[in-house]
């Protein structure tokens, strides 16, 4: 600001000097010189304004350039579509988990119902047997049904167990989607921070260098091999394995 | 057999805990990142460590390195169960001395196979 005031003061002194000369020349009746002096005064004012506007434009341009470089704004712009893909992948994963759980429930419930019906029927027969209200034929039938039940019940409970296990494994979506959403939250926070910076810069014409130190320090803390989170189709570009088999192959190639 | 399960997501810790119980390992303890896990390992008599990679505080890979660097824990078998599947990361874990590496999502069968393999090697002295 002090520079601008000095510039203005000098210009004013110049103008004053010219104005005094202008009065003298007008009194002397030197019209040609009067015209030249008027032009000079006008031009110097215009030049001052152009100079100021030019300076402001350059400063704004430099600041915005520096801002874009330092805040990796263009990279963030690239990451927004990625964030959309990540969130869509979250929808897919939650959908799959819900389908898998509901599928397991739908497959397991009839087994439970059948088991329950048979247990009820066998229970009734058993009571009849205890009350001695049973013929030898009926007892033979009960005995044979019980034997079949023992075999089936073992299979049925194994099926129910497997259904429950499937429902449990489907819950792994919470970890995987949690990691993906966590990444998107980080991006949103970064965008928010940069927007606040941008407002601050355009408001006060400050350079964004104040944050630099902090940002560089955080960058230095990052480990050599960084955690990436789950692979998201269409987003993850790094050299990844596609499943457990490839992990096993890679490890065995390393002597595991 | 005392096992420590380290993962920042409680759902995943519960899943692993339940799977381990199915396999007959009932003595399990949980920690939510490397920073809480390391003192537990140093203080307790754990026989096996199952850890995630991507966690706040101390990551699984750093926990693995800290375990290998600690004279009392250096030979503790470590199984990594993680969504990290960059080749570079698997190589890094192998070089840091991991005993098994499972990528999420995984199956109960995979967990059983890897644990069996780790103990076969230890029992075989290899």
Q: Is A160 on the interface with B (CB under 8 A)?
A: no
> Percent of chain A at pLDDT above 90?
41
The pLDDT, as a whole number, for residue A14 is 76
Instruction: Work out the angle at residue A200's Cα, subtended by the Cα atoms of residues A197 and A205, and round it to the nearest 5 degrees.
Output: 115
The pLDDT, as a whole number, for residue A142 is 93
DSSP states of A165-208: HHHHHHTTHHHHHHHHHHHHHHHHHHHHHHHHHHHHHHHH---G
Q: Is B109 on the interface with A (CB under 8 A)?
A: no
Q: Is A244 on the interface with B (CB under 8 A)?
A: yes
Model confidence over B30-72: pLDDT tens digits? 999 999 999 999 998 999 999 999 999 999 999 999 999 999 9
The pLDDT, as a whole number, for residue A4 is 46
Model confidence over A78-129: pLDDT tens digits? 888 889 999 999 999 999 999 999 999 999 999 999 999 999 999 999 999 9
Residues in chain A with CB shorter than 8 Å from the CB of B94 are 251, 254, 256
3-state secondary structure at position B100: strand
Q: Minimal CA–CA distance to A159: which of A209, A203, A112, A206?
A: A112
The pLDDT, as a whole number, for residue A150 is 95
3-state secondary structure at position A140: helix
Cβ neighbours for B65, distance < 8 A, ≥ 6 positions apart: B96
Nearest CA in chain A to B121: A256
Contact in structure between B63 and B46 (CB atoms under 8 Å): no
Half-sphere exposure (CA, 13 Å, Cβ side) for A97?
Answer: 17
Cβ neighbours for B74, distance < 8 A, ≥ 6 positions apart: B67, B68
Residues in chain B with CB shorter than 8 Å from the CB of A254 are 91, 94
Give CA–CA dist B70/B75, Å, rounded.
9
CB contact under 8 A, A243 and B103: yes
Give CA–CA dist A84/A183, Å, rounded.
11
Q: Minimal CA–CA distance to A156: which of A110, A124, A122?
A: A110
Give CA–CA dist A88/A9, Å, rounded.
62
Q: Minimal CA–CA distance to A157: which of A125, A112, A194, A200?
A: A112
Q: pTM of whole model > 0.80? A: no
Of the residues B34, B54, B64, B126, the best mutation for testing chain A's interface (the one with the most A CB atoms within 10 Å of its CB) is B54
E strands of chain B, at which residues? 3-6, 28-31, 48-51, 78-82, 100-103
Give CA–CA dist A172/A174, Å, rounded.
5
CB contact under 8 A, A174 and B86: no
**Of all helices (H) and strands (E), which one includes residue A118?**
helix A73-130
- Round the average pLDDT of chain B to a whole number and report it: 95
Sign, CA dihedral A228-A230-A234-A238, equals positive
Distance from CA of A50 to the nearest CA of B (A): 54
Distance from CA of A242 to the nearest CA of B (A): 8
Give CA–CA dist A236/A86, Å, rounded.
10
- Residues in chain A, overall count: 256
Model confidence band, residue A1 (pLDDT cutoffs 50, 70, 90): very low
Contact in structure between A128 and A138 (CB atoms under 8 Å): yes
Contact in structure between B111 and A172 (CB atoms under 8 Å): no
């Amino acid at each position: 600001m002090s520079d601008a005031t000095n510039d203005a003061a000098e210009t004013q002194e110049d103008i004053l000097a010219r104005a005094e000369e202008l009065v003298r020349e007008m009194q002397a009746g030197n019209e040609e010189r009067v015209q030249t002096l008027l032009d000079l005064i006008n031009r110097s004012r215009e030049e001052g304004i152009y100079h100021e506007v030019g300076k402001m434009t350059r400063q704004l341009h430099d600041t915005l350039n520096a801002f874009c470089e330092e805040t990796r704004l263009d990279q963030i712009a690239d990451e927004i579509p990625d964030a959309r893909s990540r969130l869509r992948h979250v929808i897919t994963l939650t959908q799959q988990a819900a389908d898998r759980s509901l599928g397991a429930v739908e497959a397991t419930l009839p087994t439970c119902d059948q088991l329950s019906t048979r247990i009820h029927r066998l229970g009734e027969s058993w009571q009849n047997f205890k009350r001695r209200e049973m013929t030898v034929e009926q007892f033979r039938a009960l005995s044979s049904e019980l034997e079949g039940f023992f075999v089936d019940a073992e299979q049925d409970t194994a099926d129910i167990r497997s259904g429950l296990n499937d429902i449990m494994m489907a819950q792994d979506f919470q970890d995987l989607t949690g990691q993906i959403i966590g990444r998107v939250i980080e991006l949103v926070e970064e965008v928010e921070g940069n927007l606040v910076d941008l407002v601050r810069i355009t408001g006060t014409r400050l350079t964004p260098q104040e944050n630099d130190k902090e940002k560089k320090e955080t960058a230095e803390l990052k480990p050599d091999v960084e955690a990436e989170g789950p692979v998201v189709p269409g987003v993850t570009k790094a050299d990844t394995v596609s499943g457990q088999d490839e992990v096993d192959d890679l490890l065995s190639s390393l002597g595991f | 057999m005392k096992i420590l399960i380290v993962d920042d997501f409680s759902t995943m810790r519960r899943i692993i805990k339940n799977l381990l119980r199915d396999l007959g390992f009932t003595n399990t303890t949980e920690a939510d990142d490397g920073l809480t896990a390391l003192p537990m390992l140093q203080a307790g008599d754990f026989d096996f460590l199952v850890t995630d990679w991507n966690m706040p505080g101390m990551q699984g890979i750093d926990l693995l390195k800290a375990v290998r660097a600690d004279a009392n824990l250096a030979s503790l078998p470590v199984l990594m169960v993680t969504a990290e599947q960059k080749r570079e990361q698997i190589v890094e874990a192998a070089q840091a001395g991991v005993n098994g590496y499972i990528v999420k999502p995984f199956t109960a069968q995979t967990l059983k196979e890897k644990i069996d393999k780790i103990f076969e090697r230890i029992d075989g002295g290899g």
